[in-house]
Amino acid sequence: MSIPAFPELPAHFRFAATAAYQIEGAHDEDGRGPSVWDTYNHTPGRAVGGATGDTACDHYHRYPEDIALLRDLGVDDYRFSISWPRLLPRGSGPVNPKGLDFYDRLIDELLAADIAPAVTLYHWDLPQALEDRGGWRVRESAEAFAEYAAVAAERYGDRVERWITLNEPFCPAFVGYAEGRHAPGAREGRGALATAHHLLVGHGLAVRELRAAGAREVGITLNLDRLHAVSDSPEDLAALRRAEVLHNEVWTEPLFTGRYPEHEAETWEGLADGPWRRPGDLELIGAPLDFVGINFYRPITVAAAPRREDVPALRTAVDIGVTEPNPYGTRLTTMGWPVVPSAFTELLCDLHSRYPQLPPLWITENGSAEADSVTPDGRVHDAERIDYLADHLAAVADAVAAGVDVRGYYGWSLLDNFEWARGYEQRFGLVHVDYDTLTRTPKDSYHWYRGLITAHRARTEEPAR
């Protein structure tokens, strides 16, 4: 087997990411309140194998070991999320001192290891108390999110390098409130669209709080998709147009142009302009950002499909987005996702040319799930992941060479972890986690990635001749 060469990256590339619910565990410890994902997973028939995040990787107790892994990996930055219900168990109101202390310890230990903390405020763990009052369907959750952002910024703002308000709002809005495959498991049309809007309003309000507290860098992370129609038929092209709104423009247009998407009326079948929109919202949502995070894993092929009667609410969210059969003819990861690095370059270049006001980009997630296991030699030989990372980093380097301003890259993920509806079956980590013993075993990709960072540093820190 040949090991791929290290791609050459721009000077300030940094590396590695996780999210609270996927790794922390300690779901009812030290005053943490329940989130929608606790409720969802404790309902029979949800995540694969009945999995929950109750223990996950037990990072809440084992964070010093995990930070030691990060330090040995050599990363400059670590992207993690704060659990909103650990800080404000009821979503707003009383703050949990032990929750505050946990992230103090985590941040201080990172800084002691010379690793800059990059914090995501919302990686999908809405406090259940807010869901009980309407969740993201109502504006109150956006206001509570701003309150939470202010608490976090006041406490950690002196030490956090980079703040990400929301991670992939597409998932809570459309997978959570329209398809029901994610928490809270709702199947609604109006609820999903109100959610999409309130997430953006929450983002805008949080940006305001973070700026007021003097935060260093503020941005948002989007999982924008490179979409292709399966054929040139008018039906498939119409589905592609709707998919562009659903996956991308619902976020990018308000954020980067201050407008709602041009084709939203036909996409949402008359539901677009709901009472959740208020004067002034677009100005709030479109406030300038220091960066935009992009999460990319695979392209999506779109085909027209018949309306699914079992999910009547929001047709566009469920009848498009076909990845099977794989028209690219490339390898699939264990998620069933086709590996097409060139689609990453296309996505970044397209975004760059479409939005002249686009702030600098960070790749805030990218990685692959593979069928990993610890072999008798005590190692995890994940050659496919190494290829995936090398090819996708090269795809980012191609976009940079074409003029796209990409500042850095966080690989997903440091650890194998709870992969939402797919439970613990899908392994994305550079480090293998044995979920019975919680033993961490760095995979071959971890060692490759460390080599990449070392080579990158040696190349970029070389004194100018």
CA angle at residue 136 from 139 to 323, to 5 degrees? 140
For residue 117, the cross-strand partners are: 78
Identify which of residues 236 and 382 has a Cβ nearer to ligand IFM in the complex: 382
Question: Interface mask (CB under 6 A) for ligand IFM, residues 8-37, using x and -?
Answer: -----------x--x---------------
Identify which of residues 120 and 267 has a Cβ nearer to ligand IFM in the complex: 120
Identify which of residues 92 and 248 has a Cβ nearer to ligand IFM in the complex: 248
Catalytic residue among 24, 168, 264, 419: 168
- Cis status, amide bond into 279, omega within 30 of 0: no
Q: Judged by CB under 6 A, does residue 295 bind ligand IFM?
A: yes
Is 168 part of the annotated catalytic residue set?
yes
376 Cβ contact list (under 8 Å, min separation 6)? none
Q: Judge whether 236 and 244 are in contact, CB under 8 Å.
A: no
Q: How far is the CB of 248 from ligand IFM (least distance, A)?
A: 16
Q: Judge whether 226 and 164 are in contact, CB under 8 Å.
A: no
Q: Judged by CB under 6 A, does residue 363 bind ligand IFM?
A: no
Identify which of residues 222 and 304 has a Cβ nearer to ligand IFM in the complex: 222
Is 253 part of the annotated catalytic residue set?
no
Q: How far is the CB of 295 from ligand IFM (least distance, A)?
A: 5
Q: What is the DSSP string of 218-278?
A: EEEEE----EEESSSSHHHHHHHHHHIIIIIIHHHHHHHHSS--TTHHHHHTT-SS-TT--
Q: How far is the CB of 364 from ligand IFM (least distance, A)?
A: 9
Identify which of residues 304 and 389 has a Cβ nearer to ligand IFM in the complex: 389
Identify which of residues 60 and 124 has a Cβ nearer to ligand IFM in the complex: 124
What's the rounded Cα separation, in Å, for the pair 356 and 89? 41
- Of positions 24, 66, 168, 370, contacts ligand IFM by CB under 6 A: 168
Catalytic residue among 209, 253, 365, 370: 365
Rg of the chain over CA atoms, in angstroms? 21
Identify which of residues 152 and 294 has a Cβ nearer to ligand IFM in the complex: 294
Q: How many CB atoms lie within 10 A of CB 39?
A: 17
Closest by Cα among 270, 119, 271, 81 to 195: 271
The first and second tokens of residue 316, run together, are: 């566009």
Q: How far is the CB of 281 from ligand IFM (least distance, A)?
A: 26
Q: How far is the CB of 414 from ligand IFM (least distance, A)?
A: 12
Q: How many CB atoms lie within 10 A of CB 437?
A: 7
Pairing of strands 291-295, 300-302: unpaired
Question: Interface mask (CB under 6 A) for ligand IFM, residues 428-447, using x and -?
Answer: x-------------------
What's the rounded Cα separation, in Å, for the pair 461 and 254? 39
Q: Judge whether 71 and 114 are in contact, CB under 8 Å.
A: yes
Q: How far is the CB of 124 from ligand IFM (least distance, A)?
A: 7
- Of positions 58, 66, 365, 372, contacts ligand IFM by CB under 6 A: 365
User: Rule CB under 6 A: which of 299-358 touch ligand IFM?
Assistant: none
Closest by Cα among 262, 238, 231 to 248: 262
Q: How far is the CB of 309 from ligand IFM (least distance, A)?
A: 28
φ, ψ of residue 166 in degrees (nearest 5)? -120, 145
Give the amino acid at 346: E
Q: Judged by CB under 6 A, does residue 412 bind ligand IFM?
A: yes
What's the rounded Cα separation, in Å, for the pair 75 and 115? 7
**Catalytic residue numbers?**
168, 365
**Interacting residues with ligand IFM (CB under 6 A):** 19, 22, 168, 295, 365, 412, 419, 428
